[in-house]
């Protein structure tokens, strides 16, 4: 079920409701799969997006200027990096990434599945809109075929949504 269908079937989309496993908007996003579970529609205070990413995937070093991120690693292993700190997380780990702190990560397992919850400090979060703008909707809840990524376009869209790209993605794994 998509976000629009969830909102249409709920008596009041501002009230709690359950989002079943597999439900949400599936988006092929920067060579991995994003499933938007909760969007910031109607001024919501947080967004939740589930990701499935292949080994070696990692976003460029970046900073969210107004959004805090909470990442829960549902399956797999990911190395998280911020400044001079690098720490490996495995299934069940929770990672706190406060606004204003540059960070990146890299998938070390064959795949990793993780949930990212973003909340704006002064505005509604824009992370879900960033994912939607850079991604391509799909009915397939599976990884896409890898394709080229335009770093300049990613940086421009990130800036539009309150993020700044500070460096390249992590290098290839051994």
pLDDT by residue (tens digit) across 86-127?
Answer: 999 999 999 999 999 999 999 999 999 999 999 999 998 999
In a domain, 38, yes or no: yes
Domains: count for the chain = 1
Structural domain boundaries enclosing 108: 26-140+148-165
Q: Cβ(57)–Cβ(71) under 8 Å? A: no
| Residue 54 pLDDT greater than 70, yes or no | yes
In a domain, 4, yes or no: no
CATH of the domain at 105: 2.60.120.10
In a domain, 33, yes or no: yes
**Average pLDDT for 139-145:** 94
Mean per-residue pLDDT of the chain: 91
In a domain, 52, yes or no: yes
Give 83's pLDDT tier (boundaries 50, 70, 90): confident
- Neighbouring residues of 12: CB distance < 8 A, sequence distance ≥ 6: none
In a domain, 174, yes or no: no
In a domain, 11, yes or no: no
In a domain, 15, yes or no: no
51 half-sphere exposure, CB direction, 13 A CA radius = 28
Which tokens is 48 given?
Answer: 């939740």
- Give the ranges where the chain is alpha helix by DSSP (H): 3-9, 127-134, 151-160
pLDDT for 120 equals: 93
At which residue do the structure tokens 């929770």 appear? 94
CA distances from 123 to 20, 31, 40, 128, 132 (A): 28, 28, 10, 13, 18
In a domain, 5, yes or no: no
**Average pLDDT for 129-148:** 95
pLDDT for 17 equals: 77
Give the pLDDT confidence of 36-48 residue by residue, as tens digits.
998 887 677 899 9
């Amino acid at each position: 079920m998509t976000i629009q269908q969830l909102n249409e079937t709920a008596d009041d989309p501002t009230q709690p409701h359950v989002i079943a496993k597999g439900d949400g908007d599936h988006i092929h996003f920067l060579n991995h799969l994003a499933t938007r579970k909760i969007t910031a529609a109607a001024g919501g205070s947080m967004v939740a997006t589930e990701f499935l990413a292949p080994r070696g995937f990692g976003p460029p070093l970046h900073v969210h200027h107004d959004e805090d991120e909470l990442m829960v690693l549902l399956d797999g292993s990911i190395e998280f990096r911020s400044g001079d700190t690098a720490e490996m997380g495995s299934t069940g780990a929770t990672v706190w990434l406060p606004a204003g702190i540059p960070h990146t990560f890299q998938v070390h397992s064959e795949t990793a599945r993780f949930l990212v919850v973003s909340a704006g400090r002064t505005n509604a979060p824009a992370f879900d809109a960033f994912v939607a703008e850079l991604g391509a909707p799909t009915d397939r809840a599976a990884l896409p075929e890898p394709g080229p990524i335009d770093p300049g376009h990613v940086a421009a869209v990130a800036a539009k949504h309150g993020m700044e790209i500070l460096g390249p993605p992590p290098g290839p794994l051994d």
